[in-house]
Amino acid sequence: MIYTCTLNPSLDYFLEVNDFQLGQLNRMKTDKKMPGGKGVNVSRVLRRLGAQSVALGFIGGFTGDFIRRQLISENIDTDFVEVDGDTRINVKIKSREETEINGLAPAITDEQVDELLLKLNRLNDRDILVLSGSVPETLSADIYKQMMQQIKDQNVKVIVDTSGPALREAVAARPFLIKPNQSELGGLFNTDISSIEEAVIYAKKLIDEGAENVIVSMGGKGSLLVNRETAVYAEAPRGEVKNSVGAGDSLVGGFLFEYARNGDYIEAFRYGTASGSATAFSVDLCSKEDTEALLPKVKIHQI
Ligand SMILES: Nc1ncnc2c1ncn2[C@@H]1O[C@H](COP(=O)(O)OP(=O)(O)O)[C@@H](O)[C@H]1O
Ligand SMILES: O=P(O)(O)OC[C@H]1O[C@](O)(COP(=O)(O)O)[C@@H](O)[C@@H]1O
């Protein structure tokens, strides 16, 4: 089974404004509320591609209820820990440019953390655990590392998609895969990464620090997969971008879907890149049909 864990899920509030003006009254053209947060999106992508998963993490309040109800309506299994405050609302403004304002997490108690950790005891070597998204302010930045250390004898494959100190700590616990985007990778080394060659250099440093596979997503430029044996670049297909929120989560979900199906890294990487692009070219997350139509357009280059 695939388990996704979102410590900091969100109700994503998408709104479209013609010619957004800072400091002025703007009126919306359209709006939409969606369940969000990185692991939640991975679960939704997996479902759309045809794979089951269980969504773990913390939810609370009316926004948490919304997320749970939406996931259940999409036939996704949920096993969240309830917290007292409201799950955050993340605002996604689409105008000439995309602007995002991500909210603050509700407080989470030590007992609630223990409740979540207890759920990990049931995982075994046939399971995959996706630890995705930011860490709530009230939790320790090394929580992903702690979770991985707790289950290290259960031989679960762990994927980590986060940034900053939480990612750096988690890398030391030897995840199967991490997926920083270009700026998150640069952020780890206090540098700006501007080319594929530079991204490979820094991805290799993360392999040396403990990650087994590193996928660096680079928006419209595509993505990179680096491990001890290989370094490959996938050129993303071109198309009209409708909404790039969730593109990175779709890359992770698509990779995982194909990897769980056939165990081939390169084909999984191609599928993930196509899923990311299919999401960027759609209003909601990728569909299986759109993803598979893009597969032949993802060009893989050995580096
Ligand atoms: N403008 C775009 N055109 C084509 N594909 C895109 C575009 N933006 C994102 N993608 C696809 O989605 C993947 C993840 O996007 P990215 O923006 O790098 O992730 P994140 O959301 O984590 O920052 C990319 O590797 C690419 O395959
Ligand atoms: O936990 P974070 O880093 O604040 O990110 C949460 C946000 O990222 C998303 O999961 C989208 O992530 P990606 O665009 O990186 O795929 C949104 O649904 C959510 O609002």
Task: Write the pLDDT tens digit of every residue in 51-68.
Answer: 999 999 999 999 999 999
Of the pLDDT bands very low, low, confident and very high (cuts 50, 70, 90), residue 118 is very high
Averaged pLDDT of the chain: 97
DSSP one-letter string for 236-294: PPP---S--TTHHHHHHHHHHHHHHHH--HHHHHHHHHHHHHHHHTSSSSPPHHHHHHH
Dihedral sign computed on CA atoms, order 181, 183, 184, 186? positive
Q: How high is the pLDDT of residue 213?
A: 98
Task: Label the pairing between strands 2-6 and 157-161.
Answer: unpaired
- Indicate if ligand 2 lies below 6 Å from the C-beta of 12: yes
Q: pTM (2 decimals)?
A: 0.97
Residue 228 CA to residue 298 CA, distance in Å, equals 23
Helical (H) or strand (E) element with 35:
strand 28-36
**What is the distance in A from the centroid of ligand 1 to the CA of 165?**
23
For helices 110-119 and 143-150, what crossing angle results, to 10°?
40
Q: How high is the pLDDT of residue 172?
A: 95
For residue 98, give both structure tokens: 């995309």
Residue with tokens 């999106």: 41
**What is the distance in A from the centroid of ligand 2 to the CA of 221?**
19
Ligand 1 atom 26 nearest Cα: 222
Contact 282, 160 (CB under 8 A): no
Of the pLDDT bands very low, low, confident and very high (cuts 50, 70, 90), residue 114 is very high
Type of residue at 65:
D
Ligand 1 atom 14 nearest Cα: 248
Residue 272 CA to residue 278 CA, distance in Å, equals 10
- Cα–Cα distances in angstroms (integers) from residue 188 to residues 193, 206, 289, in the given order: 11, 10, 36
For residue 267, give both structure tokens: 């084909």
Residue 81 CA to residue 8 CA, distance in Å, equals 12
Residue 20 CA to residue 143 CA, distance in Å, equals 38
- Indicate if ligand 2 lies below 6 Å from the C-beta of 90: yes
The single residue of 12, 142, 249, 290 carrying the catalytic annotation is 249
Q: How high is the pLDDT of residue 211?
A: 98
Ligand 2 atom 13 nearest Cα: 246
- Indicate if ligand 1 lies below 6 Å from the C-beta of 247: yes
The four Cα atoms 286, 288, 290, 293 give a dihedral, to 10 degrees, of 140
pLDDT mean over 256-271: 96
Of the pLDDT bands very low, low, confident and very high (cuts 50, 70, 90), residue 222 is very high
Ligand 2 atom 11 nearest Cα: 246
Task: Write the pLDDT tens digit of every residue in 24-49.
Answer: 999 999 999 999 999 999 999 999 99
Dihedral sign computed on CA atoms, order 25, 31, 33, 37? negative
Would residue 249 show up in a list of annotated catalytic residues for this protein?
Answer: yes
205 phi, psi to nearest 5 deg: -65, -35
Task: Write the pLDDT tens digit of every residue in 126-155.
Answer: 999 999 999 999 999 999 999 999 999 999
Does the model's ipTM exceed the 0.85 cut?
A: yes
Task: Write the pLDDT tens digit of every residue in 156-200.
Answer: 999 999 999 999 999 999 999 999 999 999 999 999 999 999 999
